[in-house]
Amino acid sequence: MNDRTDIKSLTPEQLANYVTQMGLPAFRARQLFQWIHEKAAESFDEMSNLPAQLRSALQESCDLVVLRIADVKISAIDGTRKYLFALPDGNVIESVLMKYKYGNSVCISSQVGCRMGCRFCASTLDGLERNLRPSEMLDQIYRIQRHLGERISHVVVMGSGEPMDNYDNLVAFIRLLTHEQGLNLSQRNITVSTCGIVPGILCLAEEGLPVTLALSLHAPSDQVRRTLMPIAFRYPLSEVLDACQTYYEKTGRRLTFEYSLVKGVNDNLEEAVQLARLLRGRHGHVNLIPVNPIKERDYVQSDPKAIEAFKNYLEKQGIHVTIRREMGRDIAGACGQLRKSYIQQGKEE
Ligand code: SAH
């Protein structure tokens, strides 16, 4: 972007250094951190207990990244909200708010676009535009919390992008989000979903962050997985599942295996048999997701009967399995589709 300081991405220690370099006392850094992260301030002007001179000095040298809500769709059925955010450089990303009995959960994007190329996914159709900074990941949550007027208690990194492909920013984001002087989210209420980048999984296992790991499995064999996910050529299932086992051992966190059911591709009983064999003794549960069809591909959802049969077989084998409840049916659209239609619209105008 430019050489201005991205103040929302700084750790408390970096912020303290920054403030000291400006010749100011350390308590100013704590005040600033609170305004930025706990109160989700939208401008330096809002920071009323900081001297006006300091506010204008910060204005001169720093960017306070604040995303603009370009569009929001609210479900009349269950209150799910889809937000389209404009980034300072003009890119757009989407985030989703879901209201559950246990709290408010936000699904955030970790990149603008994605380069993983999963066949059924809309986010990757135009490739990767750029990584999101920690500030840009955080502000999806901060803006939604302020717009909603309720606390966000859970975060899933399951929107557009591959979090392990933006690893350093991901970890910085998690540390800021869970900082006790910030929004102070519980690390246990954060889920990171990956298509299976082995070095990323192994690194995250060593960070001392007990976040939940979700693996996008989608097939019980490398052969089928490769038809859906190009990353499966790079990291075979045996390596990915070993890395997941390591993750479990290091963090004590049970895993989630995501399995999007695509009619005639990965949903027959033979695949359920293979899947049960593959996951036996692994510490996690399977989350079945009826694939959300995108118009650019001809994948279709499995029949409800096939989904039931798949689920029943796994259960009989002692595997804990859930079917993802569809949220916001009336505002639905697969990951990345709202953004895609917005960009398309712009091109046509
Ligand atoms: N890159 C990460 C996180 C983003 S995708 C990952 O691959 O896990 C979040 C989840 O939605 C992944 O399991 C992904 O495979 C799945 N997904 C993407 N597009 C989908 C679609 N059209 N229908 C069903 N699931 C989809």
Token pair 């049970």: residue:
254
The residue whose CA is least distant from atom 18 of ligand 1 is 121
Whether 46 is a known active-site residue: answer no
- Ligand 1 atom closest to residue 162's alpha carbon, by position in its atom list: 1
SS3 341: helix
10 Å CB burial of residue 305 (0-12, 13-18, 19+) is: exposed
Q: Domain 68-348 classified CATH 3.40.950.10?
A: no
Q: Per-residue pLDDT tens for 326-349?
A: 778 788 666 667 777 777 776 554
User: Which of 137, 197, 289 has most ligand 1 atoms within 8 Å of its beta carbon, as the pocket-test mutant?
Assistant: 289
Buried b (16+ CB within 10 A) or exposed e, 266-299: bbeeebbeebbebbeebebebbbbbbbebeeeeb
**The pLDDT of residue 119:** 96
d(CA 46, CA 61): 17
Q: What is the DSSP string of 186-229?
A: -GGGEEEEES--HHHHHHHHTTT---EEEEE---SSHHHHHHH-
What does the mean pLDDT of the chain come to? 94
Kindly tell me if the per-residue pLDDT of 1 is higher than 60. no
Q: How many CA atoms lie within 13 A of 316 on its CB side?
A: 9
Please write the tens of the pLDDT for every residue from 65-114.
Answer: 999 999 999 999 999 999 999 999 999 999 999 999 999 999 999 999 99
Q: Which of 110, 258, 302, 339 to mutate for ligand 1's pocket (most ligand atoms within 8 Å of CB)?
A: 258
Residues 6+ apart with CB under 8 A from 48: none
pLDDT of residue 335: 63
Mean pLDDT of 299-322: 96
Query: Tell me, what's the pLDDT at 117?
Result: 97
Residue 53: DSSP 8-state: H
Alpha-carbon distance 38 to 127, whole Å? 34
- Say whether 203 is catalytic: no
Matching fold, domains 5-63 and 68-348 = no
Grouping H, G, I as helix, E, B as strand and the rest as coil, residue 74 is strand
Output the 3-class SS for 235-296: CCHHHHHHHHHHHHHHHCCCEEEEEEEECCCCCCHHHHHHHHHHHCCCCEEEEEEECCCCCC
164 pLDDT band, cuts 50/70/90, is very high
Whether residue 266 is predicted with pLDDT greater than 70 in this model: the reply is: yes
Region 121-141: what's the mean pLDDT?
A: 97
H/E run at residue 84: strand 81-86
- The token pair that represents 249 in the structure block: 């051992």
Exposed, middle or buried: residue 199 (CB in 10 Å: 0-12, 13-18, 19+)? exposed
Mean per-residue pLDDT for 282-308?
A: 93
pLDDT over threshold 80, residue 147 = yes
Average pLDDT on 253-262 reads 97
How far, CA to CA in Å, does 22 sit from each of 25, 53, 79, 241, 301? Answer: 9, 12, 45, 49, 58
Question: Residues 129, 140: contact at Cβ < 8 Å?
Answer: no
Q: For residue range 7-39, what is the model confidence (pLDDT) as tens digits?
A: 999 999 999 999 999 999 999 999 999 999 999
- On whether the CB atoms of residues 84 and 338 are closer than 8 A, the answer is yes
Ligand 1 centroid to 121 CA: how many Å? 6
For ligand 1, the distance from its centroid to the CA atom of residue 110, given in whole angstroms, is: 13
Question: 5-63 adopts what CATH topology?
Answer: DNA polymerase; domain 1 (1.10.150)
pLDDT at 341: 73
User: Would you say residue 2 has pLDDT above 90?
Assistant: no
Domain segments of the chain: what residues? Answer: 5-63, 68-348
Predicted confidence at residue 305, as pLDDT, reads 96
**What local confidence, expressed as pLDDT, does residue 338 receive?**
73
**Measured distance CA(220)–CA(54) in Å, rounded:** 58
| CA dihedral sign of residues 110, 112, 116, 118 | positive
- Three-class secondary structure of residue 104 per DSSP: strand
State percent of the chain over pLDDT 90: 89
Per-residue DSSP letter, 26: T
Alpha carbon of 59 to ligand 1 centroid (Å) = 39
Q: What is the pLDDT of residue 325?
A: 78
